[in-house]
């Protein structure tokens, strides 16, 4: 049980670090967390790694507040993170602030966790 708690903390920390890199427009740092086959999904549709990275500079994120972070491990090398994030942000100058439901899937390869899928949708 202790080992699972440590793994949960590690994956939550990765999710927050990757989100912080995105917020700070650190494209190269953010890219290090993405698997080559990464898929992002939001109201605009699906994005691969290149499209996701191209979108980073278009966001101005002022604040993120995380809540109800949960981690499940369907297998030893896969983690599913779910949570809500309340954000103050704009995308292409349009206000996108609000509370979003988020899910991320991480996979562990060669001793490193990489993000393979990330989706967020505005909470109703």
Count CB atoms within 10 A of the CB of residue 40: 20
Q: How confident is the model over 49-68, as a mean pLDDT?
A: 96
Q: What is the pTM of this model?
A: 0.93
* Structural domains of the chain sorted by starting position, each given as residue range(s) with its CATH number in brackets: 2-122 (3.10.450.50)
Q: How confident is the model over 62-81, as a mean pLDDT?
A: 96
d(CA 112, CA 109): 5
- The closest of 32, 35, 98, 112 to 61, measured between CA atoms, is 98
Question: Given a cut of 90, is residue 85 above it in pLDDT?
Answer: yes
């Amino acid at each position: 049980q202790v080992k699972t708690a440590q793994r949960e903390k590690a994956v939550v920390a990765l999710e927050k670090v990757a989100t912080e890199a995105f917020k700070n427009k650190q494209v190269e740092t953010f890219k290090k967390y993405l698997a080559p086959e990464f898929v992002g999904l939001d109201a605009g549709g699906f994005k691969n790694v290149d499209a996701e990275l191209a979108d980073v500079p278009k966001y101005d994120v002022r604040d993120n507040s995380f809540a109800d972070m949960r981690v499940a491990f369907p297998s030893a090398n896969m983690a599913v993170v779910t949570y809500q994030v309340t954000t103050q942000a704009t995308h292409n100058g349009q206000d996108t602030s609000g509370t979003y439901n988020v899910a991320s899937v991480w996979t562990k390869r060669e001793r490193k966790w990489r993000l393979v899928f990330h989706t967020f949708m505005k909470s109703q």
